[in-house]
Amino acid sequence: MADYHYVYKDVEGASTEWDDIQRRLGNLPPKPEPLKPSAYSPAPIDVDKPTKTASWIDEKTEEELEDLEDDRDLDDDRFLEEYRKKRLGEIREAARISKFGSVVQITGSDFVREVSKASPDLWVVVLLYKDGMAECSMLLRCLDQLAQRYPATKFVKIISKDCIPNYPDCNLPTILIYNSGAVKGTLVGLHPYGGGKCSPEAVALAFCQSDPVLNDGRTSGESSRKAVIDGVRRKFIESIVKQRENDEDDSSD
């Protein structure tokens, strides 16, 4: 028959009356102090370490967002990692779209670098002008607006005789349209845009009759050309409707 032995263990720190007497007589060592767990103390907060949130990511530059690719904290937080990628894409898209956005003054020595040797996929609109000519100022105002609307197209202006010596003033303003280092179109005077009624929409339509010259960065090729033409037509219709409404208001008065 198996011999079973049981070992009973009392509650930690408990003591019998007999043990207490023996301790007072010095026959037993003092009763050990009961074990007390140390008080909870939270880890110190590093005030210099930023809290990683969406707003924290919004403040980062493109280079800083690229450096965060191996950040372990972001790897453990799927939302922040996805937000980082989304924000990085937005910054790159904005940089691509906002490539130019204004009409830049160049000189004869700049022409080859800024125009002839421009990127093959880039359309360049060159204005030959002369200071003090009303027709040149009128067309330049239209180009200023178009440069803002279509920042993926490069717009430059150059004094005519700095570009072509002895170029006749009667041909001003002149537009040269370049692509892949070659002239793709030449527009002389204001006649191509309706003469004295020159408007940004008329200029845009003239530029895009056969080539996708104007580009806002969101479309390319034939899609860009079609988008420009559709937009111009829509603005023309809106202006006609508005003019009729104004005429009706005047007649009712």
pLDDT in tens, 8-43: 455 555 667 777 777 777 777 777 776 666 665 655
Domain 103-239 fold is Glutaredoxin (3.40.30)
Per residue, the 3-state secondary structure of 49-76, as one string, reads CCCCCHHHHHCCCHHHHHHHHHCHHHHC
In this prediction, residues 97-121 reach a mean pLDDT of 89
* Per-range mean pLDDT, top range of 47-51, 115-119, 247-251: 115-119
What average pLDDT is seen over the chain?
80
The percent helix, strand, coil of the chain (3-state, each to 5) is 50, 10, 40
The yes-or-no verdict on residue 48 having pLDDT over 70 is: no
Question: What are the φ and ψ backbone dihedral angles of 201, each rounded to 5 degrees?
Answer: -65, -40
More confident residue, 35 or 226: 226
- Predicted pLDDT at 145: 95
- pTM of the full structure: 0.59
- Predicted pLDDT at 47: 47
Distance CA 153, CA 121 (A): 10
